[in-house]
Amino acid sequence: MSHSKKLFTRFLPSWVLCLVFTLIATYAHSNGFTLKIGVISPKGEGSSSILSGESHEESIKLAFSHLPPLQIGDLQIKLELIPWDDKGNSEKAAEVALHLAYEEQVVAILGPVNSGSTKAVLAKLREQQIDLPVISSLSTAPELTASGSRDKNFFRLIFDDADRMGQYATFIKQEKSKEGEQFFLFLYEDSPYGEGLNQSLKDRFYTPNIVVSSWSNVFQPNCSDSNNQSLVDQDRFSSGACLSEEFKKRLDQSNINNIVLLGDTSGALSIVNELKLAGLATNLDYFFVGSNKRLFDEAPAGSLTIGDPMLDVARAPTTELGNHWRKILDGFEERAKKDRADFIMTAYEAAMVLHSALHIVLNGQSSLPAVTELRSKLLNVLETATFDSLEPWRNISFSQGELDQIPTAPIYRITRGVTREDTLKHHPWIHLSVNSSSPWLETPVEVRLSAYGLESGKLGVFWIDEITSKAYLIEDRIVQFSAGQAVERFNLFKRGRYQFRMLDTPFYPILTETHIESSMTYLISAIAALVGAILVISRQAFTLTDSMIRVLFGIFTGLLLTFLSFYGQQLSSWIPLPSFGNEPIINAMVTGLIGGYLGPHFLVNLVHAWVRRFLITGKSKIPAKL
């Protein structure tokens, strides 16, 4: 056996051990860089919100599949979603929240879906004195963010019932005011969600001709469970015999010609079905709340409904944005095996907001903070930072947990298809982009802007402190648009991270952040200048000191010419500065070489002449005798 083979055989066990230890260490290390995020949604048997619950979870999963990984230095951080089913039950939701907080050590909760569950979760966290962000994309009860009662853990990604019902009331008035006096029956679900919708709509409705009843008064007790949300006797329910006698009497004796169903899709459609089977649905117009596929498929033709925020590709103001929305919706259909109408835009945005907030918190960190510290920092960032939304004319920021700019609530007429009835509104906004990285001292950073419905706007550039992640405004300027387009250039001489933002107008960035990084072109320029300087001084006899000085002047001249060729042309178009093509490396080599040739003689002689003149002028002023 050869010497090398003997060594290999001898040390083989050591290599194996090293490999095993390395794998163990890597596994332990990677495990230490996992952040858990809780997702609470109603799913499965017993949940009246199964459609929205499943879509809520799938929309969040889709968002995280699109978002880039987080990092601390060179180490990637794994984000792990921990989904739980609260079955739409508030007590179960509170129990789940404590499990996520204590056992799973999640950094935030996305959800719950139902307002009642959200209230219970917040109350339980408050009771246990747990700081933990709760970001809900569908809880619309106004009291969750009412002045004086908002929990510091809560952030809402959707409008509240008051905002949505205010829009609905205005639309119904426009719809019905031409038909003479109208009488309305409000039927609301026996839940915080239904009660909130009912109160909000009543407070903003245009006529006092309203009769109000809860769903518990519509059905006979033996047709539904204790919550009046799930059917018990399916055969009896589908016969039309489940309506209470008191309700039938009220409907017969009144002049009701409009029924507004305020609650979950399943219960609302059950009521409509019972009215039809009982022969009480003639000449009635229906108004629903919701925008899922089942409602569109089963609601009576001609009905109106106000939906949840959505991505309407047909209303995208640009082809590029429409294609972006279409890709998201296609991804949802493929992943969730559902109709794109079930996609929950605000759940996707909740994931975006949490991801951005984590990025801000972790940026500049040398290690992963403790979970309790991370939760507290997240709460602070959510309160103070501004985030991107899927709608370019709207940024996401919070005031006491409430959105500063709420999304649009679409209104649909349900026919054999679905038609948007709300007016198309053109929101002014600016499309903003910049290269992700820019070489230091090469060219000014170029920001490209496309305006929609605007003639001017104020653009600001911020330098980001890598340690504190605090943004400092270093320059702002008014941008004037020509045919909706503009290009602004910023001369940023300090290395680091910069962000660009519109200060007075909503903007939709492809990328608004750039890193100013060291460039190899100046090293190439210095080498070329060194070669040029050596070639020049080698033709004449100089002392060692003189040679070194002339070489240094050559390198300096080469770097100066390279800088001017990159930067100078942007500073003033009428100054004749050298430039040799669009390739930075070629430009650096040529300008460096020219500087190397000029510096040792021209620049040295020029400096020498000025120094002599200065010294002679200075001596002439000295008196002969003191």
Average pLDDT for runs of 10 along the chain of length 626: 43 44 41 85 64 88 94 87 93 97 98 93 96 95 86 95 93 90 93 89 94 88 56 48 83 87 90 87 89 88 92 90 95 91 94 95 87 96 92 92 90 87 87 91 91 94 84 94 94 91 88 88 88 85 82 88 75 57 79 84 73 65 47
The answer to whether residue 220 sits within a structural domain is yes
Same domain, 97 and 24: no
In the numeric block, the tokens 């495990």 are attached to 31
Neighbours of 73 (CB within 10 A): 10
Maximal C-alpha separation, the chain = 128
Same domain, 234 and 122: no
Collapsed DSSP state (helix, strand, coil) of residue 90: helix
The answer to whether residue 326 sits within a structural domain is no
Q: Which of 484, 517, 550 is the last residue of a domain?
A: 517
Q: Determine the Cα–Cα distance for residues 77 and 30; give it in Å rounded to an integer.
A: 8
pLDDT of res. 575? 52
The structural domain count of the chain equals: 5
Q: Which contiguous run of DSSP H or E holds residue 451?
A: strand 445-452
Q: DSSP string of 501-533?
A: EESSS-EEEEE-EEEEE--SHHHHHHHHHHHHH
Q: Which contiguous run of DSSP H or E holds residue 242?
A: none
The answer to whether residue 599 sits within a structural domain is yes
Q: What is the CATH number of the domain that holds 510?
A: 2.60.40.10
The answer to whether residue 331 sits within a structural domain is no
pLDDT of res. 457? 95
Same domain, 43 and 143: yes
The pair of three-digit structure tokens given for residue 453, joined into one six-digit string: 């419905």
Same domain, 584 and 594: yes
Residue 293's nearest CA partner among 572, 546, 54, 617 is: 54
The answer to whether residue 104 sits within a structural domain is yes
Q: Which contiguous run of DSSP H or E holds residue 510?
A: strand 507-511
Same domain, 571 and 613: yes
Q: Which of 306, 326, 355 is the last residue of a domain?
A: 306
Same domain, 487 and 596: no
The answer to whether residue 246 sits within a structural domain is yes
Same domain, 366 and 443: no
Structural domain range at position 15: 1-31
Q: Which of 328, 362, 385 is the last residue of a domain?
A: 385
Q: What is the CATH number of the domain that holds 231?
A: 3.40.50.2300
Its sign, for the CA torsion 298, 329, 378, 96, is positive
Same domain, 124 and 170: no
The answer to whether residue 625 sits within a structural domain is no
Same domain, 77 and 89: yes
**Residues 6 or more apart in contact with residue 2 via CB below 8 angstroms:** none
pLDDT of res. 12? 43
| Backbone region of residue 88 per phi and psi (left: phi > 0; alpha: psi in -120 to 50; beta: other values) | left
Same domain, 165 and 278: yes
The answer to whether residue 199 sits within a structural domain is yes
Same domain, 77 and 111: yes
Same domain, 49 and 152: yes
